């Protein structure tokens, strides 16, 4: 059984008090308690402060292009669906640059676990508005306030029948750890939108701001009621629910592709003569 020291990577370079620390610690505790050994999972990221997440873990990692964490994660799963694959991204990286990939990963229901560090700001590039910045928020690049309506990623996920959609809070690590374990055990695409204060560039959505608003979803709540889930996902303002908001049991993409349904691609025999014939046909 692995312990926390087995997942220790480089020393984080995040600002002191950054919400990313809570997410990193919750993740390490979740995989440790599940007995998931580092060589059995892969973490993929794009660009941003959240994009550094794989550097701070000891496991298989891939740090790629801005907004492209989900295409890489999808490719890894299709090549080897014995491998647990998690994708991490910031709100700008995933919902801005990677918005198209986010939508279609949910449609396909690839069995990838997506954890979005949602601090409602671009942190790495010093504080301009992201898709989840609240309307009217003043930033360096938006001196008259944000004109666009705030994106609600969880409501979007419910609308697209995402297999598992949840919201967590980096300041409630024990609760977040439980959500991550639920996501890793769920078969299908999972989204956890994690509210994560940026202590340097977002002076509105602070730990205190969230603690006055977030609440645990009631035990009697039914996350498989899609209409109820959509109503729950729209709650934002004085009260913000955290927990599993929606889940279903749709077939995953990997099981629907006949050539890999029984055996991962990486364990199938490769006949180079077929490649040679194909090359000769074109050249």
Reduce the secondary structure of the chain to three states and give it as a string: CCCHHHHECCCCCCCCCCCHHHHHHHHHHHHHHCCCCHHHEEEEECCCCHHHHHHHECCEEEECCCCCHHHHHHHHHHHCCCCEEEEEEEHHHHHHHCHHHHHHHHHHCCCCEEEEEECCCCCCCCCCCCCCCCCCCCCCCCCCCCCCCCCCHHHHHHHCCCCEEEEEECCCHHHHHHHHHHHHHCCCCEEEEEECCCCCCCCCCCHHHHHCCEEECCCCCCCCCHHHHHHHHCCCCCCEEEEEEEECCCCCHHHHCHHHHCCCHHHCCCCHHHHHHHHHHHC
Closest by Cα among 131, 126, 242 to 195: 242
43 bridge partner residues? 61, 86
Query: At a CB cut-off of 8 Å and minimum separation 6, what does 66 contact?
Result: 46, 47, 48, 93, 97, 98
Q: Which of 52-90 are b and which e, b meaning 16 or more Cβ less than 10 Å from the residue's Cβ? A: bbbebbbbbbbbbebbbbbbbbbebbbebbeebbbbbbb
Q: What would you report as the CA-atom Rg of the chain, rounded to the nearest whole angstrom?
A: 19
Q: Is the dihedral of CA 260, 266, 270, 274 positive or negative?
A: positive
pLDDT of residue 279: 85
Distance between CA atoms of 273 and 33, rounded to whole angstroms? 46
pLDDT of residue 248: 98
Query: At a CB cut-off of 8 Å and minimum separation 6, what does 258 contact?
Result: none
Distance between CA atoms of 88 and 59, rounded to whole angstroms? 14
Instruction: Report, as ranges of residue numbers, the positions in the chain whose pLDDT lies below 70.
Output: none
- For residue 3, is it left (φ>0), alpha (ψ between -120 and 50) or beta? beta
pLDDT of residue 262: 87
Distance between CA atoms of 187 and 250, rounded to whole angstroms? 9
pLDDT of residue 278: 84
- For residue 58, is it left (φ>0), alpha (ψ between -120 and 50) or beta? beta
pLDDT of residue 277: 83
Name residue, tokens 């000769």: 280
Parallel, antiparallel, or unpaired for β 240-247 and 164-169? Answer: antiparallel
């Amino acid at each position: 059984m692995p312990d926390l020291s087995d997942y220790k990577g480089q020393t984080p370079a995040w600002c002191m008090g950054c919400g990313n620390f809570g997410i990193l610690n919750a993740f390490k505790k979740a995989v440790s308690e599940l007995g998931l050994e580092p060589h059995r999972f892969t973490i993929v990221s794009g660009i941003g402060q959240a994009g550094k997440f794989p550097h701070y873990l000891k496991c298989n990692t891939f740090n790629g292009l801005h907004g492209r964490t989900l295409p890489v994660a999808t490719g890894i799963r299709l090549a080897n669906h014995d491998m647990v694959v998690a994708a991490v991204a910031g709100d700008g990286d995933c919902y801005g640059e990677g918005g198209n990939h986010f939508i279609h990963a949910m449609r396909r229901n690839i069995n990838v676990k997506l954890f979005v560090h949602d601090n409602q700001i671009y942190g790495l590039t010093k504080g301009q508005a992201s898709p989840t910045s609240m309307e009217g928020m003043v930033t360096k690049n938006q001196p008259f306030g944000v004109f666009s309506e705030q994106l609600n990623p969880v409501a979007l996920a419910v609308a697209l029948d995402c297999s598992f959609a949840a919201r967590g809070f980096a300041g409630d690590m024990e609760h977040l750890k439980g959500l991550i374990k639920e996501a890793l055990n769920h078969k299908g695409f999972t989204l956890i939108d994690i509210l994560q204060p940026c202590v340097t560039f977002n002076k509105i959505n602070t730990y205190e701001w969230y603690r006055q608003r977030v609440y645990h979803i009631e035990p009697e709540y039914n996350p498989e009621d899609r209409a109820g889930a959509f109503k729950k996902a729209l709650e934002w303002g004085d009260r913000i629910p955290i927990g599993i908001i929606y889940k279903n049991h749709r077939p995953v993409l990997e099981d629907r592709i006949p050539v890999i349904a029984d055996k991962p691609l990486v364990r199938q025999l490769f006949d180079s003569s077929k490649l040679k014939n194909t090359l000769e046909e074109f050249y």
